[in-house]
Amino acid sequence: MDYLEGLNKEQRAAVEQMTGPVMIIAGAGSGKTRVITYRVAHLIRHGVDAFNILVLTFTNKAAREMRERINHLVGPDAKNIWMGTFHSVFAKLLRVEADKIGYPNNFTIYDTDDSKSVIRAILKEMSLDDKLYNANFVYNRISAAKNNLVSWQEYQQNPQIQADDFSSGRGHLGKVYENYVNRCFRAGAMDFDDLLFKTNELLKNNPDVLNKYQHKFKYLMVDEYQDTNFSQYLIVKKLAAVNENICVVGDDAQSIYAFRGANIQNILNFEKDYPELKVFKLEQNYRSTQNIVNVANSIIANNKEQLKKHVFSEKESGDKIKVVRAFSDNEEGKMVSESIMQERSSKGLKWNDFAILYRTNAQSRSMEEGLRKLNIPYKIYGGLSFYQRKEIKDLIAYFRLTFNPNDEEALKRVINYPKRGIGDTTVDRIILAADKHNLTPFEVILNAGQYLEKAPASLHSFSTMIQSFQVITKNQSAYDAALHIAQHSGLLKDLYEDKSVEGLNRYENIQELLNGIKEFSEREDIEEKGLDVFMQDVALLTNDDNDKNKDADTVSLMTIHSSKGLEFPQVYVVGLEENLFPSQMSLNSRSDLEEERRLFYVAITRAEYKLTISYATSRFKFGTLISCEPSRFLDEIDAKYLELDFTARPAPSGGSSFNDERNAWSRPSTGGGDSFSRPKPASPVKTTSVLAKAHVPSPDFKPSDTSNLQVGMEVEHERFGFGKVISLEGNKPDIKATIFFKEIGQKQLLLKFAKLYILH
């Protein structure tokens, strides 16, 4: 039992409760992953067969980390646990049971681009207006239906759905959905939503299969349960119905994926499904300082729908949370960048100790401009992933077609790449013939003389090439087969002959993919190492698996949604403005607003030691400069935990709240009187904010050489105005100057970044 000694009292209690329904409410930074891994290890150490344990996660990264930790605790048995993302685990299950629902075991998994391509083809064939039937809209509509287990038949028979579609002028959506399902089935393909939809269908229509897995998975654990949708909820409920040894772990305060179908009610109402439920609350935050935890608590306390808990930290109080106001989004980017530069220099930090979080991707522009001007290296997360690059998708399409010749999307992608004289007209005739004779396009190609009037000779050589690839993959390792396909398809040669910078990058990306396959071929922790197994892994990658350079020393920029599960020593949460954060779309209902508040909670709890919050009073939107109000969320933070950027003036007697400070800010009117809802102070109060009054630099302003700066000298700063040096400290090149500025009061600046003009 020594391995349990490192757990706190509540963690240990949760680990040792091995049977019955269990809910572990895990506050931010409370050691959730540690508890899950120790609980699984504890089960195995007490005689539970690893083959009887199912652990479901939302990222491959989380599953890998857990398996590594469990392996450290119990050894090789960890390999036998059914552990992975919902999609990867049930894709594995479906490959075993695919024949029960009419699918081949080697079915292809379509990514979003594949699905949208199929939809665009269907819309074209049905001659539907692409403005009303935008492929993105149709895809999201079908995805939402599948996540709510609404089949195309039920979709077409539901009066309310049909009424909504017809009233919006999209009365053919049900038929598009039907055609999409049939097209995927003909291609032997499932999309991501199908992996859960078809699992539900399998378990519902095959009682023997359900019984088999109910008795196989005697112990279930679900991570991030607050993020489950209806389809996931139902699968878990069915599988746990016999033994009820189900443990769910999550935090309702971090439920932020409603737009993906996540239903917070799954965790809020979990006790209704299991009245004998035992609940454990992990409330100690090991990540953040007390001030950061206190701010997060003061925010989330405003939500009505929540499971009550009191998160606390035993770390030092730490810095207060700084709130900064900028005149514009560009100035916000400049201020954040300058702050990062100064913090890194003064505290000896690395660039990757900093993260900038924002509500929408569009906000990255002003942040990027600020960082570039100071030559600060940065990386935007959530951009185009490695496996979404064209050249990578092209080679993978060859792999897909090799294992599943019925894969129509893969066929269309590579049939004439590299060019082999098979034009769009020929491809269209192949598709029409396939539809007419109820065949797959590849079957038409194999018998082109029978089904096509004019069949180019290159069709025969193409089909022969694919068939030769099928033979190669059966007899060679994943790497050797992949290299053979890359070479003999002509793809590698085509990229090599492109001597442009872009061509070189594309060629190097293919080499990187082949390197990854070789690494896969040499892994010792897996038994099956064929190219088909590698392809299954690639199809199920989650966003966290796509970045090949995660440890680079760069500032991280990302949306708050992308930041969930991450942590950084210093975090900047930018754009705290009404209609931006909370978003305008969230102001229509309390539930939507509460999700936005949970999103803010997630942003705050990413910070370990220092948190800075900023907003702008104006921002460009669709090319127009608009005035902005500070976010209502700022009012909800207890003022005693904050350091306001403009608080050099004496506080009013009896203390000062954040709202009092806000009322004192000097702001331009938006035409309707005071832009805040509260009355102004009775007598004018001079603000000392560094941003309250813009300083216009002197005509001859030019940064001076400050190597000989002395106490008593008068200087000018391009933003802070005129001031006098009152002290100098530190050694070159990190000398700090304390300067009293006439307009804003005392500031401490790092000389090498200060850009001061020495007056005399």
- Is 683 domain-assigned? no
Distance, in Å, from the CA atom of 156 to the CA atom of 209, rounded to the nearest integer, reads 29
- Is 597 domain-assigned? yes
- Are 522 and 438 contained in the same domain? yes
Distance, in Å, from the CA atom of 307 to the CA atom of 300, rounded to the nearest integer, reads 11
- Is residue 32 a known part of a binding site? yes
- Are 243 and 180 contained in the same domain? no
Average pLDDT over residues 101-112: 91
Please state whether beta strands 736-741 and 745-750 pair in parallel, antiparallel, or not at all (unpaired). antiparallel
Of the pLDDT bands very low, low, confident and very high (cuts 50, 70, 90), residue 385 is low
Bin 150: left if φ > 0, else alpha if -120 < ψ < 50, else beta: beta
The pLDDT of residue 547 is above 60: no
Final residue before a domain boundary, out of 503, 523, 541: 541
User: Can you give the pLDDT at residue 549?
Assistant: 52
User: Can you give the pLDDT at residue 545?
Assistant: 54
CB 24, CB 248: distance < 8 Å? yes
- Is 484 domain-assigned? yes
Helical spans, DSSP H, in 638-710? 658-664
- Are 159 and 215 contained in the same domain? no
- Are 94 and 117 contained in the same domain? no
Geometric angle at alpha carbon 346, from 342 and 351, rounded to 5°:
65
Q: Which stretch of 106-110, 245-249, 484-488, 512-516 has the lowest confidence by average pLDDT?
A: 512-516
- Is residue 26 a known part of a binding site? yes
- C-alpha distance across the termini of the chain, in Å: 72
User: Can you give the pLDDT at residue 498?
Assistant: 82
User: Can you give the pLDDT at residue 542?
Assistant: 58
Q: Which long-range contacts (CB under 8 A, 24 or more apart) does 163-170 make?
A: 168/132, 169/132, 170/132, 170/133
- Are 399 and 507 contained in the same domain? yes
Which DSSP string corresponds to 597-620? HHHHHHHHTTEEEEEEEEEESEEE
- Are 167 and 201 contained in the same domain? no
Of the pLDDT bands very low, low, confident and very high (cuts 50, 70, 90), residue 384 is low
- Is residue 28 a known part of a binding site? yes
Q: 685 or 752: whose pLDDT is higher?
A: 752
Encoded amino acid at 658, one letter: F
Kindly report the backbone phi and psi dihedral angles of residue 408, in degrees, each rounded to the nearest multiple of 5, phi listed first.
-65, -40
Average pLDDT over residues 121-129: 91
Average pLDDT over residues 306-311: 89
Domain of residue 171, residue span: 108-187
Active site residues: 32-33, 223-224, 254, 606
- Are 323 and 277 contained in the same domain? no
Of the pLDDT bands very low, low, confident and very high (cuts 50, 70, 90), residue 665 is very low
Percentage with pLDDT > 90 across the chain: 54
The pLDDT of residue 651 is above 50: no
Structure tokens at 381: 């997360």
Of the pLDDT bands very low, low, confident and very high (cuts 50, 70, 90), residue 1 is low
pTM of structure: 0.75
- pLDDT tens, position by position, 75-96: 888 888 999 999 999 999 999 9
Q: Which stretch of 264-268, 513-517, 633-637 has the lowest confidence by average pLDDT?
A: 513-517
User: Can you give the pLDDT at residue 301?
Assistant: 93
- Is 296 domain-assigned? no
The pLDDT of residue 9 is above 60: yes
Residues in Cβ contact with 277 at an 8 Å cutoff, skipping those fewer than 6 apart:
20, 21, 22, 23, 270, 271
Which DSSP string corresponds to 261-323? T--THHHHTHHHH-TT-EEEEE-B-SSS-HHHHHHHHHHHTT-SSS-----B--S---PPEEE
- pLDDT tens, position by position, 320-368: 999 999 988 888 999 999 999 999 999 999 999 999 999 988 788 889 8
Of the pLDDT bands very low, low, confident and very high (cuts 50, 70, 90), residue 655 is very low
User: Can you give the pLDDT at residue 229?
Assistant: 92
User: Can you give the pLDDT at residue 685?
Assistant: 30
- Is 702 domain-assigned? yes
User: Can you give the pLDDT at residue 666?
Assistant: 32
Average pLDDT over residues 623-630: 78
Of the pLDDT bands very low, low, confident and very high (cuts 50, 70, 90), residue 251 is very high
Residue 151: give its domain's CATH number: 1.10.10
- Are 460 and 394 contained in the same domain? yes
- Is 295 domain-assigned? no
Average pLDDT over residues 734-738: 86
Average pLDDT over residues 712-733: 86
Q: Which stretch of 177-181, 359-363, 422-426, 745-749 has the lowest confidence by average pLDDT?
A: 745-749
Residues in Cβ contact with 636 at an 8 Å cutoff, skipping those fewer than 6 apart:
298, 299, 302, 597
The pLDDT of residue 608 is above 50: yes
Which of 480, 522, 482 is CA-nearest to residue 399?
482
- Is residue 27 a known part of a binding site? yes
The pLDDT of residue 527 is above 80: no
- Is 666 domain-assigned? no
Q: 76 or 282: whose pLDDT is higher?
A: 282
Percentage with pLDDT > 70 across the chain: 90
- Is residue 30 a known part of a binding site? yes
User: Can you give the pLDDT at residue 753?
Assistant: 79
Q: 695 or 436: whose pLDDT is higher?
A: 436
Write down the residue that tokens 């990027």 correspond to: 368
CB 689, CB 744: distance < 8 Å? yes
Final residue before a domain boundary, out of 580, 612, 644: 644
- Is residue 29 a known part of a binding site? yes
- Are 395 and 322 contained in the same domain? no
- Are 78 and 146 contained in the same domain? no
Residue 325: give its domain's CATH number: 3.40.50.300
Q: 698 or 405: whose pLDDT is higher?
A: 405
- Is 688 domain-assigned? no
- Are 482 and 607 contained in the same domain? no
- pLDDT tens, position by position, 36-79: 999 999 999 999 999 999 999 988 888 888 988 898 888 888 88
Residue 408: give its domain's CATH number: 1.10.486.10
Of the pLDDT bands very low, low, confident and very high (cuts 50, 70, 90), residue 12 is very high
Write down the residue that tokens 């992949």 correspond to: 482
Overall number of domains in the chain? 5
User: Can you give the pLDDT at residue 674?
Assistant: 30
The pLDDT of residue 653 is above 50: no
Average pLDDT over residues 224-236: 93
Mean pLDDT of the chain: 86
- Are 428 and 516 contained in the same domain? yes
Coil/strand/helix, residue 422: coil
CB 145, CB 160: distance < 8 Å? no
User: Can you give the pLDDT at residue 497?
Assistant: 85
Final residue before a domain boundary, out of 167, 187, 207: 187
| Highest mean pLDDT out of 127-131, 318-322, 330-334, 603-607 | 603-607
Q: 28 or 650: whose pLDDT is higher?
A: 28
- pLDDT tens, position by position, 437-454: 989 999 999 998 888 888
Please state, in angstroms and as integers, the Cα–Cα distance from residue 521 to each residue in 64, 158, 398, 484, 525, following that order.
Answer: 18, 49, 19, 15, 11
Residue 703: give its domain's CATH number: 2.40.10
Q: 653 or 583: whose pLDDT is higher?
A: 583
Of the pLDDT bands very low, low, confident and very high (cuts 50, 70, 90), residue 670 is very low
